[in-house]
């Protein structure tokens, strides 16, 4: 099943891609690689530090929201998610309390979504790291690299 068909089957509607908040572009291609800039969750998600102000479950949903934004940007960049042949790398950054240690479980919100929608092409290498802060005190920021045809 194609990624676009899987979106419909899952009842997922992608948001409008968000415009950059500073002097950068949302995506860039070189050869057959698509690089997606760091992406935050939608405005409906709470802000603050995971492990202090935000639960891991709330942060998982924020990471899933980042994944939706990333997929929307991929769709805008390539015209169709069906052009994705591989998700190469995901870098997930968590605005975390210094004693929080479940960064991978938070970033699974994005990783799970990518595999749900893209199937095997959604499986990827990944880093999930804690940060002292993120812009606007968002809980999660994620960037990704895709291969496409």
> Hey, where are the domains in the chain?
3-11+35-148
Residue-wise pLDDT for 20-44, tens only, equals 989 999 999 999 999 999 999 988 8
Neighbours of 5 (CB within 10 A): 11
Residue-wise pLDDT for 107-144, tens only, equals 999 999 999 999 999 999 999 999 999 999 999 999 99
The C-alpha atoms of residue 91 and residue 27 are separated, in whole angstroms, by 15
Q: Percentage helix, strand, coil, to 5, in the chain?
A: 40, 30, 30
Residue-wise pLDDT for 83-110, tens only, equals 999 999 999 999 999 999 999 999 999 9
The C-alpha atoms of residue 3 and residue 75 are separated, in whole angstroms, by 10
In this prediction, residue 91 carries a pLDDT of: 99
DSSP 59-98: HHHHHHHHHHHHHHHHHHHHS-GGGEEEEEEEEEEEEB-T
Provide the whole-model pTM.
0.97
Which neighbouring-strand residues pair with 117? none
Residue 88 · residue 146 · CB < 8 Å = yes
Which overall architecture, per CATH, does domain 3-11+35-148 show? 2-Layer Sandwich (3.30)
Query: How deeply is 102 buried, as exposed, middle or buried, from its count of CB atoms within 10 A (0-12, 13-18, 19+)?
Result: middle
């Amino acid at each position: 099943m194609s990624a676009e068909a899987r979106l419909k089957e899952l009842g997922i509607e992608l948001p409008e891609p968000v415009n950059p908040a500073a002097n950068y572009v949302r995506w860039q291609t070189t050869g057959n690689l698509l690089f997606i800039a760091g992406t935050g969750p939608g405005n409906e998600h709470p802000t603050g530090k995971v492990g202090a102000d935000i639960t891991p479950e709330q942060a998982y949903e924020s990471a899933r929201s980042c994944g939706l934004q990333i997929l929307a940007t991929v769709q805008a960049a390539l015209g169709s998610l069906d052009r994705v042949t591989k998700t190469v790398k995901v870098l997930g950054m968590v605005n975390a309390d210094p004693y929080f240690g479940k960064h991978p479980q938070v970033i699974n919100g994005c990783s799970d979504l990518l595999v749900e929608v893209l199937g095997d092409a959604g499986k990827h290498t990944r880093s999930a790291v804690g940060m002292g802060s993120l812009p606007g005190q968002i809980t999660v920021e994620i960037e990704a690299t895709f291969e496409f045809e």
